[in-house]
Amino acid sequence: MENLLPGYRFYPTEEELVSFYLHNKLENTRVDDLNRVIPTLDIYSFNPSELPRYAGALCHGDPEQWFFFIPRQESEARGGRPKRLTDSGFWKATGSPGYVYSSNHRIIGVKRTMVFYEGRAPSGTKTEWKMNEYKAIQGGAPSTTTGAAACALAPPKLRQEFSLCRIYKKSKSLRAFDRRPLATNRPAIMQAHMGNSDDQATTASPLLMQERTTSLDSSSSGDHLDQLNHFQSQSMEALAAGSSTMGVQAMEYEPAIWSGIYAGN
């Protein structure tokens, strides 16, 4: 990463991705700052393994996740569906879209998770490459108490000029951005209208995290909940079996200290 000390990395929450990065991209503001972190790229012109080399200047060398702005395709502009084909395979949506919430519990965007398959549909081979695609809601953001129910009846209009994507590989171990503590105070109505979204609402100011050991923000990975649940299950089984060592380690587990760069609002 460009002139950065070890331990510094780009580590945004979902709220930051939508309300700061995607918003500024759509409004064509802070262009130079954004390009250093999240470049604009037609990711469907590349296979997933080729994408890390095109990451932003401040994210080169990140082994876990890569971010890109995706311009709207011509087929989408004409009212059609996006073409998610590459030379070696295709991206396939999994589950239902979920909402992205702000720290004051307002719906600010929509998130869709996709998996990359090698080959051609419908008989491709599933890989470990995954994508979270984010789109911003057009106009004012509705609150969860009124907006979620309304959105269930009439889906919100989305800004289509650009979407923001996070590319990562599914992992069987906890990665750096998986180890943030889970939120425990999210309103019930938020959970009821999240669809199959794996990630929790985010609460932080734009850009990068620094020493957020007590953060209630979620990670941005689509795999972290299963991994943490598995870790907790193993810990409880060990306690039940009388393994004091495992129990102490589980109870004294401390999240990693997050560091980053702050580039202003």
Average pLDDT over residues 59-85: 86
Report whether pLDDT(222) > 60. Answer: no
Q: What is the model's pLDDT at position 89?
A: 95
Q: What is the model's pLDDT at position 217?
A: 39
Report whether pLDDT(265) > 60. Answer: no
Whole-model pTM? 0.67
Q: What is the model's pLDDT at position 83?
A: 86
Residue 153's H or E segment, with its range, is helix 144-153
Average pLDDT, the chain: 73
The DSSP secondary-structure symbol of 196 reads: T
Average pLDDT over residues 150-160: 77
Which CA distances in Å does 162 have to 69, 137, 191?
6, 12, 27
Q: Does domain 14-74+84-141+155-169 have CATH number 2.170.150.80?
A: yes
3-state secondary structure 55-88: CCHHHCCCCCEEEEEEECCHHHHCCCCCCCECCC
Residue 70 vs residue 239, higher pLDDT: 70
Q: What is the model's pLDDT at position 82?
A: 81
Q: What is the model's pLDDT at position 132?
A: 98
Distance CA 27, CA 179 (A): 33
Q: What letter represents residue 201's amino acid?
A: A
Report whether pLDDT(78) > 80. Answer: no
The answer to whether the bond into 48 is cis (omega within 30° of 0) is no
Distance CA 31, CA 231 (A): 41
Q: Label residue 255 by pLDDT band (50, 70, 90).
A: very low
- Give me the residue label for tokens 């409880």: 236
What is the token pair recorded at 170?
């599914």
Q: What is the model's pLDDT at position 209?
A: 38
Average pLDDT over residues 160-169: 96
